[in-house]
Structures are given as C-alpha cells and as structure tokens.
Amino acid sequence: MNKRWVLNLGLLILIITLGLFAWFKPGIKPSPVEPALTTLKAADIHDIEIVRPDAPHIKLQRQNNRWRMLAPRDVAADGYLVKAFLDSLAAPTLRHFKVETAELDKFGLAKPQLQLRLNDSEIDFGTTEPLGGNRYVKVGDTLYLTTGELFYRLSHDALWWVDKQLLPADAHITALQLPNATLTLQNGKWQLTPANPAISADAIQKLVDAWHDARALSVLTPEAGRSSGEAAIQLAGKAQPLRFEILDNPDFLILVRPDLKLEYRFEQDQRRALLELQPTRAGKTATGHNGAKESPDARTAGSRNHPPGH
C-alpha cells in the first residue's frame, strides 16, 4: 500500500469519526423536554369552559362521545375543532418556572386575559413576552411560556365552535321540500312531486345524500337578507321538520335556521347540489346500486336511510 492510499484511508477514518462525534455528541446531555400545560388526557376531558372578559362564557360538554355547546347557545359543537384543540394541549411548552403571587401583574396574570377550565383544573393566560411574542400561561403556581396558537384558538367567537354539519350525524331523511320540488320516501322509494320522467332515482338519491353530508364553511349570526325560498327536511322520529330559509346572495349559498338563529354559509356551487335536481342525460338509463333499471320516482331500499333488511 503506497503513501497516497494510507493518507486517503486516514482522512476517511477521520471524517467518519468526526461525523459520529457530531451525531452522538458524547458527554453532552440532551435538553429535557418541557412539560405540557396539563397532564389530563384528551379522552378524560369532559367539560370545557372558556372565560373571556367582555364576552359570553363558552361551555362545551362531552355527551355520549359527542361534544355539545351548552353556553352561550344550546347546540351541537364541532367535534373536529374540539378534538384538534384537545390534541394541541399535549404539545410541550417552551419554558416553565415557579411564580409568586406578587409577580402576577408583571405577566398580565393578576387579571387574566383568558381563562380555560378543563374539568376541575384552571389555566390562566396572560400577556406576551416582549421579544419572542410567546405567551405567559399560569397553571397553579407554575408559569409557562407557550406559543400563541392555543390562545388564538380560544379567542374565537362562540359560534366558531358550533357544528358545521347541517344535519345530525344520525339523521334519516324521510321528506325533503325544496322551492321547486318535494321528495317523499314511501315504502323505501322516493316519490317526486311534481313528477318528472327526466329525473332519475340516482339524481334524487344524490341530492338527498348531499343534504345529509352538507357541511358549511362557517356558522354565523344571521344578517338581514332577501329570502329566495325555503327548504324543509323531515327526519325520522321527529314531529316537526327542520326549516331553512334560503337567502339571496351572489357569493355564497346561505341557509338560515330561524329556530336556532344560525346562518350556515356554503360555497356557491353547493346551491346546485342541494337545491336542484339534475335531469338524466338523453340516452342514459338510471340504474340502482345493483345495476338494475329503475323508474324515475324510485330509490333502492339499500340506501343510507333504509339499509337492507329495514
């Protein structure tokens, strides 16, 4: 082996040694992971209360594995948002230390900007640090420094937490009245009034499913607007139908629940999916889920509302 090979081999060994040293950092202890704001597991949290100055308290409660808002409205809560919020509680904080009562005012905690109650525990939110913009949060006698994400979630208007789903998840539609048509489920088949041979059973089922799955972009307090019609939905087991006022709006499809005083706002293209039955194209025969031909006013029994055997 000549000197050049020996030199190259020595350099290779040196590079590998330096790489391993940089990777494993012998003698350097890794920084400890900072604790989360709470030791409560998401699955163990059943009551959430958000207290903000000069704003209504928000109360959310888990009921039968679903979240419901109890205040300031009694309405279903958005389970996706609540889950995302609860999951974020497990994130490590940035720093923590003990705080004396006399120091609370310095961190904006003598009068917290927001309070979060999880079951029986309380979390107080103070001001932000001047340099990094991170927020001071107190739990018991411990002060934590956190990012602003959690405070931002909790600062939303109460209606932000309302369920965006138009109908309950377990809803079974038995009748649907639109401005220009009425659908009624009879003996497992949909009847269309006024009858229209150009409307297939598939088109009817597609519209019914669209109502069942409809999820709004946002839920707001209704604003004054010119009505362009009404939709009414009868659900199985309910004495009265759900009524929605359709507001005339060039940018969005807006459905208002007068009984809840809530406005559901959708993309404009949802107007066609929810309010218009689409005729079958010429030369196309409507088929059911099993491929058999169907009459225009029929709907197969093996559907969302009437599964096979029911």
- Give tens-digit pLDDT for 86-138: 999 999 999 999 988 888 999 999 999 999 999 999 999 999 998 888 999 99
Mean local confidence (pLDDT), 260-273? 95
Q: Which DSSP letter does residue 61 get?
A: E
The per-residue pLDDT of the chain, averaged, comes to 85
Q: Is the Cα torsion angle 269, 274, 279, 280 positive or negative in sign?
A: positive
pLDDT score at 19: 64
Q: Which residue's structure tokens are 């163990």?
A: 44
The answer to whether 129 and 137 are in contact (CB under 8 A) is no
- Cα dist from 296 to 182, 203, 230, 306, whole Å: 14, 9, 24, 18
Quick one: average pLDDT of 242-266? Answer: 95
Closest C-alpha to 252, from 224, 218, 213: 218
pLDDT at 249 over 60: yes
- Residues, the chain, total? 310
Distance, in Å, from the CA atom of 117 to the CA atom of 47, rounded to the nearest integer, reads 8
pLDDT in tens, 167-208: 998 899 999 999 999 999 999 999 999 999 999 999 999 999
- Nearest in space to 297 (alpha carbons), one of 227, 168, 201, 170: 201
pLDDT in tens, 69-85: 999 999 999 999 999 99
Answer whether residue 162 shows pLDDT above 70: yes
What digits encode the pLDDT tens for the residues 204-231?
A: 999 999 999 999 999 999 988 788 899 9
CB-CB neighbours of 294 under 10 Å: 20
- pLDDT for the residue numbered 84: 95
Distance CA(299)–CA(310), nearest Å, equals: 14
Report residue 307's pLDDT band, with 50, 70 and 90 as the boundaries.
very low
Residue 180 · residue 230 · CB < 8 Å: no
pTM as predicted:
0.77
Instruction: Dump pLDDT digits (tens) for 31-61.
Output: 678 899 999 999 999 999 999 988 999 999 9
- Residue 246 in tokens: 């359709």
Q: Report how far residue 251's alpha carbon sits from residue 256's, in angstroms, rounded to the nearest whole number.
A: 15
Alpha-carbon span 165 to 218, nearest angstrom: 10
> How far apart, in whole angstroms, are the C-alpha atoms of residue 236 and residue 171?
7
Phi, psi values for residue 170, rounded to 5°: -100, 20
Task: Kindly indicate the confidence band of residue 295, based on its pLDDT and cuts at 50, 70 and 90.
Answer: very low
Q: Is the pLDDT of residue 306 over 50?
A: no
As a whole number of angstroms, the distance between CA 52 and CA 124 comes to 11
Q: What is the per-residue pLDDT for 206?
A: 95
pLDDT of the residue at 196: 93
**pLDDT (mean) for 60-69:** 96
pLDDT at 118: 98
Average pLDDT over residues 235-256: 95
Specify the pLDDT at position 101. 85
pLDDT above 90: percentage of residues in the chain: 71
Q: Judge contact between 213 and 277, C-beta under 8 A.
A: no
Q: Is the pLDDT of residue 22 over 80?
A: no
- pLDDT of 252: 95
